[in-house]
Every structure is written in C-alpha cells, then in structure tokens.
Amino acid sequence: MKDRNHLSNIGLSHQVNVISNGLLDIPMLQLLQADGVPHAQATLPEMTQQKAEKILGTMQFIRILDERMVAAQRQGRISFYLACTGEEASTVGSAAALEPQDMIMSQYREQGALAYRGYTTEQFMDQMFSNEKEPNKGRQMPIHYGVKELNFMTISSPLGTQIPQASGYAYGQKMAGLDAVTICYFGEGAASEGDFHAGLNMAAVLKCPVIFLCRNNGYAISTPSEEQFAGDGIASRGIGYGVKTIRVDGNDVLAVYAATQKAREIALAEQCPVLIEAMTYRLAAHSTSDDPSGYRSKDEEERWRAKDPVQRFALWMQSQGWFDEEQNKLFLEQSRQEVLSELKRVEKVPICKVDEIITDVYDVPPWHLKEQLAELKAHIAKYPDAYPKTSGRL
C-alpha cells in the first residue's frame, strides 16, 4: 500500500540548515554564442534546412510586421499594438518544436508562434482592423488572436488567466488519451498573479501534460525583475511546486527548440507539466502606450541588441551553407510589400454591423441586451461624425 506520510521521504538534519537562493543553482541552456558559433560542448538538436528556413523566415516576417504595425498605430490607423522584437526566438523556436495537434495558449506577444502555425498576413490584418472578415467579429482588441483550426486559443486581456486554463485543457487531453500537449506562454510579470500559482500547483498535482513557457524579458511593463521578486527568477518556482524545470537562453532559437522538444517528450511520456524559463529581453516598448526611455537606458538596450536572436540564428545558418544573402534580401522585400499591400487592402473592408455585438453569447439575445443595442444605435445615429466607420453600418 502506498505510504501517504508526506514526511517519509524527507532527510534528517541535526543542525540548523537555512536554504538560501545561492544554494539552488539552475543553469541556463545555451547552444549558440552571440556570433552564431556553437559552444564546443553543445549538442545541437536535429534540424533540417527546410525547418531552419521556416524558423528564420517567421522571425524576420514578425519583425517586419511589428515595425509596420507600430507605425500604423502612430498614424492612427489601428488603436493598439504589442511588438515582440527581441523575443522572437522564444516563441518561434518553441512553436517549431510542437506538433499541429498541440494547443497553444498565449499571452499577447506570441504572434511568432501563430505565424509559424500558418496564420496569414491577411488574417493578421483582418484581426487588427476588426473588420467583417475577422471570425471574432471585431469584439477583441488588436493582437488578441484566436483561431480554432490552428489550435490557438483566443487571447484574453486579463493577465495570467490562460495559465490555469492551460492546466485544465491539458488535463482534458490526458483524460481523452490524446497524443497532444498544451503550451502556455506568459511573461515573468504574469508569474506574480495568483493564477500562476494555482495553475502550476493544479498541473503538478493532477499531472497535466502542459508546458509552461515563461518569457522572462526583464520587465513587467516598467518594473524591472529585481523589483518584482527576490528569488532566482521563475525557474525556482517550478521546482518549488514539483514541476520539472528547464532554464534556457531565450535569444538562442536552437536552445529554445531543443528545450521545448525535451519538455514535450517528458510531458507526453510522463503525463506531467514542465516549466521553461526563457531568459530574453524586450527590445520594443511594452506596447504602443508605453515609452521605455523613462525606465531603462539606451546602453542597456544596445547590450541586448548585440544578442539579437534573428542575427544569431542567421549566422549559424550561414555556417551550415543554408543562408543566401541575395535570396534573403528578396524575401525581406517581398514580406514588406505583402504587409503594406494587406494594410492598404484591409482599410477598405467594412467593419461588422453593430447588431453583431450582442450575438453568439445567448441563443436568443435577452431583452436587456436588445435594449442596450437600441440605445447604442440611437447614440451613434445622433453623433455620426464621432463614429465614421460604425455609423454607416447601423
């Protein structure tokens, strides 16, 4: 019979022992140096040229998309945007190590994972402009993507809600006997939410096949990590909850890929959670509502630009004979043109009719929602100049 005495496996000591932060040494997996040269002792994961080209192309495309959409927000063409510049390896590298049947639950800076799955430029634009072609019918903020066909759960604005949801979804995968895991992305700031602790504990106790991937980019908006917590990052918390844990260089796409491959292997074979802490840096502002110059220096940013994940991987590919400078320039130009042409197209697509705002929640919209809709339509009709797009869709 199983021994349920929780003290049975604890060693004894006859002196006072204080466990301090320094006694827990959690190494960081790094395979490629900043110049793209592998460490002498590194064991690189198997990687085909085709997959490497897709990973690099996705990271480069997302950087172009970020640059263009931040500019579009500054021009007043969209209301809001969140760039992932500097963190591309943590999201694209991990997505590349998954299988299509794996569920992705993201925070709001994982557009790279979605693009790797096959989300098109047209779909990105339709979502950000909230038009009638967008499946969510304009009910979400820009960058709050969701697409069932790609197993990408719709993003929620409240911080950390996806963490316990991921544990629950993975538990469902386990109960159904599926050959699939759930990956859940979040930043180190979200790890201060109660949902983080509830989600990890639930996954550990119920042995859910979920990968928790924390992008530790050093800042929770403007709050640096040293002002967020006193412990050894987020990895130590996984160990505290009994969750298998990996710390990885989040700017080394090969290391992220290898770590996620291993995490998926463990999660499936042992039906248990794995935490990955990807140590990276947000080169962009937190969002288009943020000015990072108020809380960090240009010197700090430049030190991290020297660790650019896109350049690092391109240099490694070059050493493999997989990188053609001219072909890459052509790809970048084509990507820019594609983003610009889709941006121009989408601005001409009508937004959803106002009546859509109360559908798809109840089978039949209740009286109070119908009443509120009537009041909204009357208000828009009274002030059409204040709602130029909506007034034409009453």
Report phi then psi at 354, rounded to 5.
-60, -35
Distances (CA, A) of 123 to 134, 232, 334, 339: 7, 39, 17, 11
Query: How far is 181 from 339, CA to CA, in rounded Å?
Result: 32
Q: Which of 63, 117, 282, 312 is catalytic?
A: 282
Q: Which two tokens stand for residue 292?
A: 């990072």
Residue 148 makes CB contacts below 8 A (sequence gap 6+) with: none
Pick the closest to residue 356 from 128, 130, 148 (CA basis).
Answer: 130
Asked if 39 contacts 30 with a C-beta cutoff of 8 angstroms, the reply is yes
- Burial class from Cβ neighbours inside 10 Å (0-12, 13-18, 19+) for residue 239 reads middle
Number of Cβ within 10 Å of residue 216's Cβ equals 22
Annotation marks residue 368 as catalytic:
no
Query: How far is 162 from 8, CA to CA, in rounded Å?
Result: 35
Annotation marks residue 282 as catalytic:
yes
Query: How far is 390 from 387, CA to CA, in rounded Å?
Result: 5
Query: How far is 214 from 381, CA to CA, in rounded Å?
Result: 46
Q: Which of 74, 295, 303, 305 is catalytic?
A: 295
Query: How far is 34 from 309, CA to CA, in rounded Å?
Result: 8
Q: Which of 109, 117, 264, 286 is catalytic?
A: 286
Of how many residues is the chain composed? 394
Helices (H), 207-251: 235-240
Q: What amino acid positions are annotated as catalytic residues?
A: 282, 286, 295
